[in-house]
Amino acid sequence: MNGPDRYEAYDGDDGREEKGNRRDGSGIRDESGEGGPVFGSPSRPTGSAGPGGPEGPDTPRRGEAPESGHPPRIPMPRVSVEDSGLPLPEPATLGEPAPPPAPPVFEHAVLKSLLGAWALAACSAEEATAVEEHLGGCGVCADEARRLREAVGLLQRPESLDLNPGLRTRVLQTCLERRPPHIPVPDWAAAYDAETARLDALLQDFGDAEWHAPVRLRWFRSDESTSRRTTVAGVIAHLLSVDGLVAVALGLDDPLGDVPSRHPTPAARTEAFWRASRFPPTRFLRTPWREQSHNLVRTVSFTGGGAGKTAVSYGDFELPLHDAMLDRAFECWVHAEDIADAVDYPYAPPSPRHLHRMIDLAARMLPTALAHRRRVGLASPAHHRHLVAAGEPGRSLRLEIEGSGGGEWLIPLDSPAAKGSAEHEVAHVALDGVEFCRLAAGHVPPQEAAAGQVGDKEAITAVLFAAASLSRM
């Protein structure tokens, strides 16, 4: 239905014929009066001349609005602003940012009151900027700000992300107090158990670059510092070879196997192991070294305290098993520090209880080392040397070790069999515990040891050099 306010499309022919149009027999109209399709336009069936119905002279063209005022069904293309003839807007007015607000102005009294908040980093950005600009020109406020910053540093001390080295010992001790083990680890083997576990934790996340990082082993020989260059994996091979001396003494397998060694000394065994390796040592040495350390702790635990007197041969000398396990713990810690230095990683000293046992072992070995140096001519006999019977008190040096794990030891100077005596004390030496251990490891020359000295200078020098001679590869 069509009306003045309604426009309907025709879906078919209603039998009427538009004025000025003629239809041919095919049902296709041709405005030129001839039948056939119109070139340049598609053929359309009769009665469907276009989307709006039959097309006539009064029918609006495509895109034009009808006379009734309705908008066209197909909108016209938009006209560009350049084709409209209108003036173009200025480029500066397109998206120009608003000018920044003026910074706030603070008086001197206000800025001085903000110094505490500024030191705690509690100011806003504008206030912090104003305070910092003010500090550049006001010396009184600058001094006050410096003191406040130092006070804040005392209140918030930076803490290391590494765990406390004594945490493992405390946790294990608490656990063992609540449920004692059926087969406990002997006290003299606990230090070795702890130090091998710490070193294994350090090696856990090492990549190929860390395993091949260069490490320089240092020790003291013939009054001179010497060194040997290797890698992190080479250090583990060294520990594996020397720990094998304890394994052989306990009846366990020798890690060298059939590899021949010229001498049964730690250095000779290490060199033999390095030479027998087809390729440079790699990360794969960690597994056999850790398994051997577990076997050693397990074996000494099952054998009980009676096995502590078993002799362990180092080639040139022997040590009881309980001292040999402390010696291996000491060397494990020293070489773990070498590895940590090579990869630039912090490494803490042992727990005070274990450190005290290591210092005690070195102090007990000093009289024998001092006598050996005199026999081979590295130390001249003391002018006031006085030989006494075995077990009798003689001239002594008081060795005072400060810090955690420290204590005092009286070192007999004239004979290893003599007894240290406070009445016959001729010298006094004070050293830090870690410094003394590094001296005994050959990492600190005796001349550079930070030691407090009182008394016989010759005796002090002899003891310091004897401590350094305890080191070996």
Q: How far apart are CA 453 and CA 400, in angstroms?
A: 10
Mean pLDDT throughout 243-253? 94
Higher pLDDT, 70 or 389: 389
Q: Is the pLDDT of residue 314 over 90?
A: yes
Give residue 182's pLDDT band: very low, low, confident or very high (50, 70, 90). Answer: confident
Give residue 244's pLDDT band: very low, low, confident or very high (50, 70, 90). Answer: very high
Q: How far apart are CA 226 and CA 186, in angstroms?
A: 35
**Measuring CA to CA, how many Å separate 57 from each of 38, 54, 64, 206, 448?**
17, 10, 14, 91, 117
Of 343, 387, 409, 55, the C-alpha closest to 206 is: 343
Per-residue pLDDT tens over the stretch 121-137: 888 888 888 898 888 88
Give residue 290's pLDDT band: very low, low, confident or very high (50, 70, 90). Answer: very high
Give residue 305's pLDDT band: very low, low, confident or very high (50, 70, 90). Answer: low
Q: How far apart are CA 390 and CA 361, in angstroms?
A: 20
Higher pLDDT, 265 or 60: 265
Q: Is the pLDDT of residue 270 over 80?
A: yes
Higher pLDDT, 242 or 42: 242
pLDDT the model gives residue 108: 86
pLDDT the model gives residue 88: 66
pLDDT the model gives residue 165: 66
Q: How far apart are CA 123 and CA 115, in angstroms?
A: 9
pLDDT the model gives residue 77: 67
Mean pLDDT throughout 228-249? 95
Per-residue pLDDT tens over the stretch 30-81: 444 444 444 444 444 444 444 444 444 455 554 444 555 566 666 666 666 5
Per-residue pLDDT tens over the stretch 400-458: 999 888 999 999 998 888 999 899 999 999 999 999 999 999 999 998 887 789 999 99
In one-letter notation, the amino acid at residue 291 is E
According to the per-residue pLDDT averaged within each range, which of 98-102, 118-122, 152-156, 406-410 is highest? 406-410
Other Cβ atoms less than 10 A from the Cβ of 289: the count is 21
pLDDT the model gives residue 343: 94
Give residue 158's pLDDT band: very low, low, confident or very high (50, 70, 90). Answer: low
Q: Is the pLDDT of residue 339 over 70?
A: yes
Mean pLDDT throughout 188-200? 95
pLDDT the model gives residue 262: 83
pLDDT the model gives residue 202: 94
pLDDT the model gives residue 41: 42
Of 185, 193, 197, the C-alpha closest to 307 is: 185
Higher pLDDT, 333 or 149: 333
Q: Look up residue 2 and give its two tokens.
A: 């069509």
Give residue 269's pLDDT band: very low, low, confident or very high (50, 70, 90). Answer: very high
pLDDT the model gives residue 107: 86
Mean pLDDT throughout 106-130? 87
Mean pLDDT throughout 330-338? 97
Least confident of 97-101, 293-297, 404-408: 97-101
